[in-house]
Amino acid sequence: MVAYAKSQVGKRYVRGGEGPGGFDCSGFTKRAYARAGYRLPHSSGAQARRARSVSRSVARPGDLVVGRGHVGIYMGDGMMIDAGNRRTGVVYRKLYRGLSVARLG
């Protein structure tokens, strides 16, 4: 799942997109998690509700990164990958303020 997420950096943001040409935030996580055998809904809120919150200090690569109306994938060392918006597309960036980490399974 982490390798797949990395391979999608640079793809464009597409509202409602689940790949392969473009993604929105929850479409990106839905597709990446499917690679690991998880079936997730195409909704950031619904994905967040399926996970349990964990402290940033115990976050592991592959955990969900959740915020108000947004979701991404934690990559380790305080970094994440997400389909941010039309301007950024799918990017690798620092975990920013206002986001929490949640774990599936």
> Which tens digit of pLDDT belongs to each residue from 5-30?
999 999 999 999 999 999 999 999 99
When the pLDDT of each residue in the chain is averaged and rounded to a whole number, the result is 96
Instruction: Identify the pLDDT of residue 53.
Output: 96
Q: pLDDT tens across 17-75, in order?
A: 999 999 999 999 999 999 999 999 999 999 999 999 999 999 999 999 999 999 999 99
Q: Predicted confidence band at 105 (pLDDT cuts at 50, 70, 90)? A: confident
Q: Where would I find the beta strands (DSSP E) of the chain?
A: 12-13, 22-23, 52-54, 64-67, 70-76, 79-83, 90-94, 100-103
Q: Which residues are catalytic?
A: 25, 70, 82
Spell out the domains of the chain, with CATH numbers in brackets. Answer: 2-103 (3.90.1720.10)
Instruction: Identify the pLDDT of residue 9.
Output: 98
C-alpha R_g of the chain: 12
